Amino acid sequence: MPELPKCVSEVSFVSLEENPVREAQSRVQPKSKEVTTFKKKKPKVKVGHTCHREAWLEHRHRVLNVVSELDTKPPGFQAARLTGVMGLRQNAESYNARTKTNIQMLVEISKTMRTHGVINPFRHERLYTTSSLPMTLKIMTRIDQENQDIAKRIMDVVSEIDTGLPAKDKRPKKSNRLLQPFVMPEKSLEKYKGYNINMPKTDLECWHLLRPQIYLDIYLKGSRPLGRIVVQLYTEAAPVVVLQLVRACMCNRHNSLIIRRLFPNLWLDVELWDNGNGDLNQPMEYDAKIIDHGASSYVLSFSKEHLQGFRTYMSFSISFKPLGVVNGSRVGFGKVVKGTKILDCLQSYGTKNGKLSRSIIFTACGVL
């Protein structure tokens, strides 16, 4: 309640003016100390508080486990495809093959510059005519040669009846046989002018060195022998290949010769297995202009893919007909001079995919 004003006399008013402290003390009245007590507030219980919390927890759980339908991951890429690691080996092989081809081309260009174009390919010298006379003459020459071979075999026939007379050898002795003079084509030795090569002086040595002849006996396995073919080799065409074939025939290693494929009216593939010969694994010297594949049949040749060396075995083929299309891609190093009919009979044992219908083996081989 508001306090009522008090009446003060003049005497007391004067005394208050004289002693202001007293007046201040008279005004201030001590208050009694009050003890304050705090009461705990009772929690207000709201209806539905527990349900709201459970709903909030459930909503939070759903938010934490939300999976976005948008693909926010970084895009994946194939490192091998972008870097090209898988094609490095193929690129290196193609680069090496291209380099070897360029080197061979430079060698041929330098050879042409050195010889001034004197060596001409045999394909440019061949005359193409529409007349059948050259082919007829060729057939007549072949028939004449076959008749001579038949006559030689008839002369060597020995009678089965014992007449009591000494047998006479109708064949002339080797010493009495006429040896044809050996004529070496100058074009084949043109590239060896810069080398000091001692050539044989006699014709017999030249024939044995540069034109060796080998024979191969062919047998139809499980049936009968088919006969013998005689092959004349050209040493200057592929010296390493000819030497390897002559060495195998001198040792009668007929088991090393295997007929792998036979394509009728095309060619016969033969493999010569020889372990331990390092010369066949090295780059080889060759001359592809010695033999023309389109001029004659029964030519021995190998692919130019093996000019850098044979890996495990030496493979070559024997053609059954003139193949002018292989000039430039194969190297010819020999011709079959006897036994061509045997090769014609072999074609009946081949298939169009090269698989043999009957097993054909070599039973003997040698050097004549």
The CATH number given to whatever domain includes residue 279 is: 2.40.100.10
pTM: 0.55
Q: What is the pLDDT of residue 236?
A: 85
Give the rounded percent of residues in the chain with a pLDDT score beyond 90.
9
76 found inside a domain = no
Amino acid identity at 357: S
Q: Give the range of the structural domain holding residue 312, as residue numbers without chain letter.
A: 203-368
Angle at the Cα of 362 from the Cα atoms of 360 and 365, rounded to 5 degrees: 160
Residue 43 within a domain: no
Q: Indicate if the pLDDT at residue 177 is higher than 60.
A: no
What CA–CA distance (Å, rounded) separates 63 from 71? 18
**Which amino acid, 77?**
F
Average pLDDT over the chain reads: 78
Domain assignment present for 194: no
Between 203 and 100, the higher pLDDT residue: 100
Domain membership flag for residue 15: no
Confirm whether 256 is domain-assigned.
Answer: yes
27 occurs within a structural domain: no
- Residue 34 gets the label, from left (phi > 0), alpha (psi -120 to 50) or beta, of beta
Q: What is the mean pLDDT of residues 41-69?
A: 78
Looking at per-residue pLDDT, the higher value among 31 and 97 belongs to 97
Residue 329 domain-assigned (yes or no) = yes
State the residue for tokens 């493999």.
Answer: 271
Q: How many domains does the chain have?
A: 1
Residue 136 Cα distances to 132, 141, 265, 280, angstroms: 6, 9, 20, 41
Mean pLDDT for the stretch of residues 143-156: 84
Q: Which of 249, 246, 216, 257 is nearest to 333 (CA)?
A: 246
**Residue 46: inside a domain:** no
Indicate whether 15 pLDDT > 60: no
More confident residue, 110 or 176: 110
For residue 173, the model assigns a pLDDT of 59
